[in-house]
Amino acid sequence: MFLTQLNQIANQHNPKCRQQQTQALFQQVTGQLLNSQRFYGELLLRLDKQADMQLSSSIALKTAERPVLLINPKRLSEIVHSDEDLLSLVQHVVSHLAWQHPVRYANRGNDPLVQLATDMAVNDHLEPLYPGAITRQHVNFKLGLHLPADLGSAEYLAELKQVLLKDQTGTKAKQVKRILGQSPENHLGWQQLDRETALQLNQLVAQSWEETPTKQRGLLPNRLQHQLNRRPAKLELDWRKLVMVGLNGPQKLPEPAFNRFNRRQPYRLDLPGQTRTSTRQLYLFVDQSGSMSDTEVQNILAQIVQLLKRYRDKITVIPFDAVVHDDQLQTILHGNQVTFQRVAGGGTAYQPIFDWLFKQGANDLNALALILTDGHGESTVTTHGLTNLVWGLTTTKADLSVTKPVGTVTVIRERK
């Protein structure tokens, strides 16, 4: 089932269609994991998925700024030979999140021994194994070792370091390189984390664990269960920071600006300077129910304008109730006065938001959706592959009617 779709994506030349097809495929993969391995499915559900034909491996987890699962459909189609292969490989990648490897080994993803150690720790408990999987048995055979089962990645790493310190001829180092060359994934995306991104990764794992029923938790290795049960209470990200994370923070695309001097050659007036534009469009949907006063909404919009104006972003503000009132759409630019007028309110429904965004061509690469609401809508929605969402509640998280919300759920509070 999955392989046919994967081959079609690999031969798709339209980047937009390729991204949409990749999202659709991984929605199905997520559904399969939710049924068979609930915790790993919950992790995958919360990850942004992007097709990247320039990726040097088949699949990789990138953690800089925000966690993203990168997929090279062409390379992936050449590696996996069955649906089970694909599910196994995806479960392997998200397992690194469960074991906190991208946090514990941040900025060390290019260390060959780190990849060996973390892959062995994960694959000790993975069955069936995907093609090219790095296993303890294979490493033992190639390096002439006797590493026991069920060690942690730190213990495997310490043992491997000792082996290479004694490798005077470089033979074992060459074997390590050969072993890594067979793996369909790499850890180069485990980059240095700032505090906000580390908190986001911790929150992603904590939310996935909370949503996993007790019976399904028992499917995980005992050591991992123990680690997850000992996790501290979730640390919340302020909603303003969630907006910046969703927009990729201050990392913007450079654009030529002829109204600015070129700093390197200030006397060349014919050369443009440089400004930066947003990499994503922020769509702000405002619930028309009576739970929010006009003053509350205007205060929230004003805070967002202040937050974003230094990055020259714009906001598209759209009211909704049971439908999206795009005839009342406003585009708020840098420095503009925020205005808000309530339209006739009806019942609340969230599905029209995602249907409208889908028609606009919105996806995780070009959009962030922030939904301001009291949370009283339907219980299930289809986001059409969009995962870059922030649910901003004016009540509590428990009031959100959507039982399995995609994206991040937070509570909007006015600044005192």
Tokens coding 269: 């007036």
C-alpha 23/C-alpha 284 separation (Å) is 23
C-alpha 51/C-alpha 70 separation (Å) is 6
Contact (Cβ atoms closer than 8 angstroms) between residue 103 and residue 201: yes
Q: Report the relative pairing of strands 253-257 and 68-71 from DSSP bridges.
A: unpaired
Contact (Cβ atoms closer than 8 angstroms) between residue 49 and residue 82: no
C-alpha 318/C-alpha 226 separation (Å) is 45
C-alpha 43/C-alpha 202 separation (Å) is 11
Please determine, for residue 196, whether its predicted confidence score (pLDDT) is greater than 60: yes
Q: How high does pLDDT run on average in the chain?
A: 84
Question: pLDDT tens digit string along 264-288?
Answer: 554 454 555 554 555 688 899 988 8
Residue spans of alpha helices (H) in 211-311: 214-217, 222-229, 239-246, 294-308
Question: pLDDT tens digit string along 32-78?
Answer: 999 999 999 999 998 889 999 999 999 999 987 778 999 999 999 99
Tokens coding 300: 């929230």
Tell whether omega for the bond before 128 is within 30 degrees of 0, i.e. cis: yes
Question: pLDDT tens digit string along 349-386?
Answer: 999 999 999 999 999 888 999 998 888 899 999 999 89
Please determine, for residue 294, whether its predicted confidence score (pLDDT) is greater than 90: no
Question: How does residue 247 score in pLDDT terms, banded at 50, 70 and 90?
Answer: confident
- Residue-level pLDDT at 336: 54
Q: Report the relative pairing of strands 330-332 and 315-320 from DSSP bridges.
A: antiparallel
- Residue-level pLDDT at 251: 44
Contact (Cβ atoms closer than 8 angstroms) between residue 312 and residue 277: yes
Q: Give the 3-state secondary structure of residue 324.
A: strand
- Residue-level pLDDT at 233: 46
- Residue-level pLDDT at 140: 95
Question: How does residue 253 score in pLDDT terms, banded at 50, 70 and 90?
Answer: very low
Please determine, for residue 416, whether its predicted confidence score (pLDDT) is greater than 70: no
- Residue-level pLDDT at 209: 92
**DSSP string of 110-131?**
T-HHHHHHHHHHHHTT-SSPPT
Average pLDDT of the segment spanning 231-255: 59
The angle, 0 to 180 degrees and rounded to 10, between the axes of the packed helices 136-143 and 112-123 is 130
Contact (Cβ atoms closer than 8 angstroms) between residue 399 and residue 375: yes
Please determine, for residue 217, whether its predicted confidence score (pLDDT) is greater than 70: yes
CA atoms within 13 A on the CB side of 184: 26
- Residue-level pLDDT at 102: 94
Over its C-alpha atoms, the chain yields an Rg (Å, rounded) of 23
Question: How does residue 199 score in pLDDT terms, banded at 50, 70 and 90?
Answer: confident
Show Cβ contacts of residue 293 under 8 Å, excluding neighbours closer than 6 positions: none
Question: pLDDT tens digit string along 6-34?
Answer: 999 999 999 999 999 999 999 999 999 99
- Residue-level pLDDT at 414: 47
Residue spans of alpha helices (H) in 230-350: 239-246, 294-308
Residue with tokens 């450079």: 254
C-alpha 78/C-alpha 3 separation (Å) is 10
- Which of 119-123, 200-204, 221-225, 305-309 is predicted least confidently? 305-309
Closest to 391 in 3D by CA, of 367, 376, 411: 411
- Residue-level pLDDT at 269: 47
Closest to 282 in 3D by CA, of 165, 194, 379, 388: 388
- Residue-level pLDDT at 259: 44
Closest to 59 in 3D by CA, of 39, 44, 46: 44
Q: Give the 3-state secondary structure of residue 290.
A: coil
Contact (Cβ atoms closer than 8 angstroms) between residue 38 and residue 19: no
- Residue-level pLDDT at 265: 52
Please determine, for residue 311, whether its predicted confidence score (pLDDT) is greater than 60: no
Show Cβ contacts of residue 370 under 8 Å, excluding neighbours closer than 6 positions: 243, 246, 282, 283, 284, 285, 389, 390, 392
More confident residue, 103 or 242: 103
The end-to-end CA distance of the chain, in Å, is 53
